[in-house]
Amino acid sequence: MEPLKSGSYPIEMVQYVGERLPKFSKEQSDMVKNSFDFIGINYYSTTYASDAECPSKNKSYLTDFCAKLSCNLFNLADTNIYLHLHV
């Protein structure tokens, strides 16, 4: 988002990516700077549910459904590694 707001990359990105980062000409920078009216981001994730025993202690609305939930937090597509959150 930073290039669209300011016409330049974030400092952290410049430090990390270095010379591999494409350069903006002054004209390109001016062209993209504040060049949007609205930006919408849709992010979809999946939650999996499997049967689990209902707890006999520490009951709450979070445990009433008696299920084990898990979801993918990140999909590192290039490496086919998934990080899971298990509740």
Reading the chain (87 residues) residue by residue, the pLDDT tens digits are: 888 888 888 888 888 888 888 888 999 888 888 888 888 877 777 788 899 888 888 877 777 888 888 876 655 555 555 555 444
pLDDT at residue 27 in the model: 92
Categorise residue 30: left if φ over 0, alpha if ψ from -120 to 50, beta otherwise: alpha
What's the start-to-end Cα distance of the chain, in Å?
32
DSSP per position, 20-64: GSPPPPHHHHHHHTT--S---------EEEEE-PPPSSS--TTTT
Count of C-beta atoms within a 10 Å radius of residue 72: 13
